[in-house]
Structure 1
Amino acid sequence: MKVIEGIGVNGEMELNKEKKNIIGITQSGLILVLVVLIVFMMVQINRLQGTARVINYAGLVRGATQREVKLEITGNQNEELVQYLDDILSGLKYQDGHYDLVKLHDKEYQDKLQVQSDYWEKLKVEIEAVRSRGYENTDIVNMSETYFKMADETVSAAENYSEKIARKIRTIEILSALDMLCLVILVIMQTLMAMKMAVQNKLLEQRAYTDSHTGLPNKSACEKILNNKEIIDEPTACIMFDLNNLKTVNDTMGHSSGDQLIMNFARLLRSVIPEEDFVGRYGGDEFMAVIYHTSKAEVEDILKYLRREKDRLNGNENPMSIDYACGWALSEDYKECTMQILLDKADSYMYDNKQLCKQHTL
């Protein structure tokens, strides 16, 4: 069951990694799309810039031409106004002149502007006729009305172009907002997945250092403490325990009873030894405890309390009585003592105690 559970966790982690990769690829794609949208928006904004000025000057042409015609009809020739209109139309068509006009890249507008420009040339010819023959002998009034309509259509085309660009920009803004929303959602998903993976990794790490039978730290956790090569500064004690009667229980009552005996002893140790101190299963029927910031008297008190609790449990008609050998060592008794040295001393004393227990049994 434990193996299947481990496989399930690993499988889920692999699935999470695959999801993470998919999210990463999707995120990269959305970022690329966002960059393209921003570039496209900048292009559209650049096209939109100056459009209002074009619309304004196209409207000026419409009104100024009517004024020029009225002046010519009343005999007030104004060559400067004609030149002004020429300059504006040239600026609208070719993006030149002194009015900082831009060329709108719109076919409808350009077609309308071309028709208007061509008709303006005809209208100028008619203006010359007015000057030489009088307006009564020309078609200047009708041509002026026709030109006004043409100019009005050019302005409308410029306004339509401006509105199309504005719609494109609004559409890009909406798409960009949706893209960024998706990116935010992906970031949130990545964060949640990272948190979930962190929890799973922590659980796996706990399992890697936890004895599945007793729930105590396992041999790997014990060795992690022992691998610390630093000299112990604070007074610390290491206690080694060995169950004396595990083999007997296994042989006479079965391994399930032996497992229960190990479990009972683990619970006894954890209930007696202070919570802030370390208790681990060193392997098989061996357990170790590390008591921090302690003294000889405190360790002896803990061991006395442990014996009393052991006797109490054994006195309740327990068919699997707990019997153990132990040995302990205190860091203050040794110079430049490390955890491994302390364990070796405690293990040696435990072995001596175990031999003594066997002699008493014989």
Structure 2
Amino acid sequence: MEKEEQSYKKSKNIVGIIQSCLILILIVLIIFIMVDISRLQGTARVINYAGLVRGATQREVKLEITENQNDELIKYLDDILNDLKYQNGQYNLVDLQDKEYHDKLQILSDYWEELKKEIKAVREVGYQNTDIVNMSEIYFKMADETVSAAENYSERIAVKIRTLELLSVLDMLCLVILIVIQTLAAMKMSVLNKLLEQRAYTDAHTGLPNKDACEVLLNNKETVAKHTACMMFDLNNLKIINDTKGHSKGDQLILNFARLLRNVIPQKDFVGRYGGDEFMVVIYNTSKTEIEDILKQLSREKDRLNSSGNNMPIDYACGWAISDADSECTIQMLLDKADYYMYENKQAYKKSKKS
């Protein structure tokens, strides 16, 4: 048992260390997930505005071709591109930490400046004398590539988040398994401790509570409930059996008497082996009449066993005491009274043997 307890403590410490590490890893994973989710949300806004640049530029070119100048739309596009590059505008766009995206965005921004010059030329000489249509198509492809780069970056973040989530699930699964293992080990140790405790308070020979268990009751200093009785029994002929037939027969006599007591005394009540040949009984919520009936039944069962060819006849001295409504007492006080009456009963038995 001691080795099992040491092994349990050692494994508990190891599991505790692993559990702490897993919890720390889970916290780190959750932090990374939250950061990446925040970045993913900002990326969606960047993709959205990069797409707006693509569509709005095509609209601006069409307006210029039809001689509908729109300087506000040009400024709108300038602001968005500036915010996409430097994150210092009114649209609260985030910086995508991706080289491909930044390269595409820089090319798009530079070409926008060329396109604006071409728009100015359209206003001066008409679109037929410019390359505005062709440049518009080129710009559209550049914008499309920029959006694609941002989407690829977003997908990589999404994959990273899914990976982190999977790792988090595996981490939590490991934690659950460790908790289950720890719980099962604790339950096993609890069962072993209960068995050990049961052994510590159980008389190995009779299976009844031993003297330590009796002492637990006797050390309780609280006043017992009214109508609680304590009985003491002492085998009269154990020494004779031991001297004439051997201690193994004496042990058998003790076992027979223990079984007799346990069969007659109600199961709800306490029956314990107080000493070598002494037995202690505590009966709750009883009366003098019930005690007397129990003693009569015990005597009848004893006589029945002794008359059935038993070569080790059972004989005992008994004393008992019961709490009443007029006095307060503890189990120890009841036992002392019962022990005194048992002693008187035993002395009377010895005198009758001599005479």
- Partners of 2:136 and 2:327 in 1: CA distance: 114
Moved more, 82-91 or 116-125: 116-125
Deviation, structure 1 residue 232: 3.2
Equivalent position SS for 1:353: helix
Instruction: Check if 1:148 corresponds to 2:115.
Output: no
Task: Write the deviation string for residues 150-170 of structure 1: whole angstroms up to 9, x where unpaired.
Answer: 211101001111111222222
Following TM superposition, by how much is the alpha carbon of 1:139 offset from its aligned partner in structure 2, in angstroms?
4.3
Question: How far apart, in 2, do the equivalents of 1:162 and 1:297 lie?
Answer: 89
CA-to-partner distance for each residue in 1:215-262, whole Å, 9 max, x for gaps? 111111111111222233412222211112222222232222221111
The Cα of 1:214 is off from its aligned counterpart by 0.5
Instruction: Quickly say closer, same or farther: Cα 1:222–1:151, change in 2 above 3 A.
Output: same
Q: Aligned-pair distance for 1:30?
A: 2.4
Q: Tell me the residue number matched to 1:25.
A: 17
Name the residue aligned to 2:113: 121
Equivalent position to 2:303, from 306, 311, 335: 311
Q: 1:169 maps to which residue? A: 161
Aligned partner of 2:29 in structure 1 is 37
Give the distance between the partners of 2:210 and 2:317, measured in 1 at CA. Answer: 20
Q: Whole-Å Cα distance in 1 between the matches of residues 16 and 315 of structure 2?
A: 58
Q: Which amino acid aligns with 2:30?
A: I
Deviations 1:248-292, CA, capped at 9 Å, x for gaps: 222232222221111111001111222222211001111111222
RMSD: 2.5
Looking at structure 2, the residues matched to 338 and 71 of structure 1 have their Cα atoms a distance apart, in angstroms, of 106
| Aligned counterpart, 1:159 | 151
> Residue 98 of structure 1 is aligned with which of 90, 97, 107?
90
The match for 1:49 is 41
2:290 partner amino acid: E
The 2-side partners of 1:340 and 1:98 are apart by 88
Query: Distance between the aligned counterparts of 2:44 and 2:287, measured in 1?
Result: 89
Q: CA deviation at 1:347?
A: 1.1
The residue that corresponds to 1:222 in the other structure is 214
Alignment partners' CA distance in 1, 2:342 and 2:217: 19
Which shows bigger deviation, 317-326 or 265-274?
Answer: 317-326
Q: Distance in 1 between matches of 2:27 and 2:105?
A: 35
Tell me the residue number matched to 1:208: 200
Match of 2:285 in 1: 293
Q: What CA deviation, in whole Å up to 9, does each residue of 1:18-77 have, x standing for no partner?
A: 343333333322222222122111111111113223222212222333343444455554
Q: Is the 8 A contact 2:229 2:283 kept in 1?
A: yes
Q: Percent identity?
A: 73
- 1:57-136 → structure 2 map (5 Å cutoff): 57-73=49-65, 75-132=67-124, 135=127
More off after superposition, 145-154 vs 130-139: 130-139
Q: Deviation at 1:339?
A: 1.5
CA–CA distance in structure 2, aligned partners of residues 81 and 181 of structure 1: 54
How many pairs align?
354
Name the counterpart of 1:3: none
Aligned partners of 2:134 and 2:102: how far apart in 1? 24
Q: Distance in 1 between matches of 2:236 and 2:108?
A: 112
Tell me what 1:183 maps to: 175
Deviation at 1:183, TM superposition (A): 3.1
Aligned-pair distance for 1:316? 2.3
Distance 1:148 1:319, change over 3 A: same
Structure 2 residues without counterparts, runs of 5 or longer: none
Mapped contact 2:209–2:273 kept (Cα < 8 A): yes
TM-score, normalised by the number of residues in structure 2: 0.89
TM-score normalised according to structure 1 size: 0.87
Question: Does the residue aligned with 1:328 lie in a helix, a strand or coil?
Answer: strand
Deviations 1:62-94 (A, max 9, x none): 233334344445555443333222111101111
Correspondences of 1:195-344 after superposition (within 5 Å):
195-332=187-324, 335-344=327-336
